[in-house]
Amino acid sequence: MTSRKLAKIYHSCMILPYFLSWIVFSYVVFAFLGMENGFINNSILIPLGFDEISFYTEPKYWPIILFIVNTIKHAAYGSILYLSAIVGLDPEYFELARIYGANKWQQITRITIPLISNVIIILIVLNLGNILTADFGLFYNIPLRSNYLRETTQIIDIYIYEVFQNGAAELGKSTAAGLFKSVFGMIMVLSTNYVVRKIDPEKALF
């Protein structure tokens, strides 16, 4: 963050995955996980003497795969607010900490986190409102809509989409599922904000 040139390079490399579509990501993931020409099977498992893994028919691997792929795509973009909050901190705090012998970990836990705690709490409260909302593109495109992975990759958003496609006769089910998601999210936001207000009223969202 102190070097402008390096910061631009870091930011560009970190933000780039966010602007790639899930369709592009699905081909990249397939290049790694494919059975015949996948990098993991052909370049890692087989040379080491292990059996090939059919990732697109084995549901047990997909919670980890989806977590890693989602982190690669969204982690950098999601950290922008935190980065902005950290850059806005007064450097004198850290200079004094270094003078008194504080190491990096102590600076993080004693200075950085307490000073940006308001931002952390606000984002947690807002994100809990979307606790039942998953990334449709992630769960729909990355597993290539494999029926073998349905039990692991089926989410409310895909259910609403599939039910809606069945026609007007099923419209009530998709509407009910969407309403349930919204009401539950609102309850989570209100409940979390209430708890925060009880602990520290100044850090509550409202």
Closest listed residue to residue 150, CA positions, set 57, 55, 36: 57
Give the pLDDT of residue 32: 93
Higher pLDDT, 200 or 113: 113
**pLDDT above 70: residue 130:** yes
Give the pLDDT of residue 167: 65
**pLDDT above 60: residue 61:** yes
What is the average pLDDT score of the chain? Answer: 85
Stretch 62-83: mean pLDDT, rounded? 87
Q: Does the domain made of 4-203 have the CATH classification 3.40.980.10?
A: no
Stretch 45-64: mean pLDDT, rounded? 91
* C-alpha–C-alpha distance, residues 206 and 195, integer Å: 12
On whether the CB atoms of residues 118 and 108 are closer than 8 A, the answer is no
Question: CB-based contacts of 58: which residues, under 8 Å, 6+ apart?
Answer: 148
As given in the structure block, the two tokens for residue 146 are: 């494999």
Q: Give alpha helix (H) positions in 20-135.
A: 22-33, 39, 62-78, 80-87, 91-99, 104-107, 113-115, 117-128
DSSP tally for the chain: helices H, then strands E: 13, 0
Q: What is the pLDDT of residues 155-205, one digit of tens each?
A: 888 888 887 777 655 677 777 888 888 888 889 888 888 888 888 887 777
Question: CB-based contacts of 105: which residues, under 8 Å, 6+ apart?
Answer: none
Residue 112 DSSP code: I
- Per-domain residue ranges for the chain? 4-203
Q: What is the pLDDT of residues 10-35, one digit of tens each?
A: 777 778 888 889 999 999 999 999 88
Residue located via tokens 């047990």: 60
